[in-house]
Amino acid sequence: MQVDQDKCVACSNCVPVCPMGAIRIDPTLNRATVNEDECVECFTCYRGMSKEHLNPTLVRTIRGFLKLLRIRFDPEPDVCPTDALTEQTLTWPRMVRRAFSDPLVPHESTGVAGRGTEEVKTNDVTDRVKEGEVGLTIEFGRPGVGVRFRDIQTMSMALAPLPVKFEEKNPVFSLMSDPATGAIRADILNEKVLSAILELQTTPEHVPRLLQVVEQVAGGLNTIVAIGVATRCDAQGENLLEPLLEREGYAGYRAKTNLGLGRRPAAATA
């Protein structure tokens, strides 16, 4: 993302809006500037702020006059008055940032928008996490911290030797250069994204050990890791994971529940 220096009036509305804190007002230029290394191309500023298309010279003059009188204008906080935020053409590897940060951009590897994963959201038709299995989602960078792929690689390489299977229909998996070791292609390791999800499957008996490893590795990363665990329920809607989590001391009181209302088309089930 870039700021059109001819249009920007340094109103600073975009500064707190940026999830990565990558925008600041340059005191010398008196314009907003974007730290490109920290910007993850999430388009929050570009898309989330309303636009007025006002004349920059007029706005600067009014703002300058009010500033002289030390009068504070109290504008709407989600508005870019002069439409100064400008998207730039992204090339590899920087385009990875937008793919993992802008939820309106579908991932090429899965065709799914958001973070590009279906997890157990469609498990009633995909059977991704089968009976007797547990699915883990390890999300890096959320909430509002961001992550570089080298930190994700640290985790994926720590998990690869363990009894897990990385989900192949997953955007992070598609960027692995060697899934057997969990290595991610070298040219994107320094790219920063808003968040990315590693999905894997295992069996219930391995869950405690895996969670222990994830927490241990997460402690050494320069980011936040959000953990999710998922399982199939029996015909009565009950599951064995809930008591297991309780025994292990996890408070899994918030959950995403798949109601099982999805259906495979007749041809697919035949």
Site for other proteins in 135-164 (CB under 8 A): 135, 137, 139, 141-145
Q: Which residue lies nearer to other proteins by CB, 70 or 72? A: 72
Distance in Å, CB of 71 to other proteins, minimum: 14
For the range 88-96, what are the long-range contacts, defined as Cβ-Cβ under 8 Å and sequence gap of 24 or more? 88/1, 88/2, 90/41, 92/187, 93/187, 93/188, 93/191, 94/41, 94/191, 95/41, 96/149, 96/175, 96/188, 96/191, 96/193
218 binds other proteins (CB under 8 A): yes
Which of 16, 64, 132, 243 is in the footprint of other proteins by CB under 8 A? Answer: 16
What phi, psi does 195 have (nearest 5°)?
Answer: -165, 160
Distance in Å, CB of 169 to other proteins, minimum: 8
Q: Which residue lies nearer to other proteins by CB, 32 or 230? A: 230
Which of 50, 57, 88, 177 is in the footprint of other proteins by CB under 8 A? Answer: 50
Report 187-216 residues binding other proteins (CB under 8 A): 194-195, 197, 211, 214-215
CB 194 within 8 A of CB 98: no
Q: Which residue lies nearer to other proteins by CB, 75 or 187? A: 75
Nearest to 34 by CA among 11, 59, 14, 6: 14
Which of 61, 104, 108, 132 is in the footprint of other proteins by CB under 8 A? Answer: 104
- Going from the C-alpha of 180 to that of each of 161, 169, 176, 203, 206, the distances in angstroms are 8, 16, 9, 19, 19
96 binds other proteins (CB under 8 A): no
12 binds other proteins (CB under 8 A): no
Distance in Å, CB of 7 to other proteins, minimum: 15
**Size, binding site for other proteins by CB under 8 A:** 98
Q: Which residue lies nearer to other proteins by CB, 183 or 224? A: 224
Cα 107 to Cα 87: distance, rounded to the nearest angstrom: 19
Query: At a CB cut-off of 8 Å and minimum separation 6, what does 12 contact?
Result: 25, 32
- Going from the C-alpha of 91 to that of each of 2, 18, 113, 190, the distances in angstroms are 15, 22, 20, 15
Q: How many CB atoms lie within 10 A of CB 147?
A: 25
Which of 68, 69, 180, 235 is in the footprint of other proteins by CB under 8 A? Answer: 235
Structure tokens at 106: 């579908």
Distance in Å, CB of 248 to other proteins, minimum: 9
Report 113-132 residues binding other proteins (CB under 8 A): 113-115, 117-126, 129
223 binds other proteins (CB under 8 A): yes
Distance in Å, CB of 160 to other proteins, minimum: 19
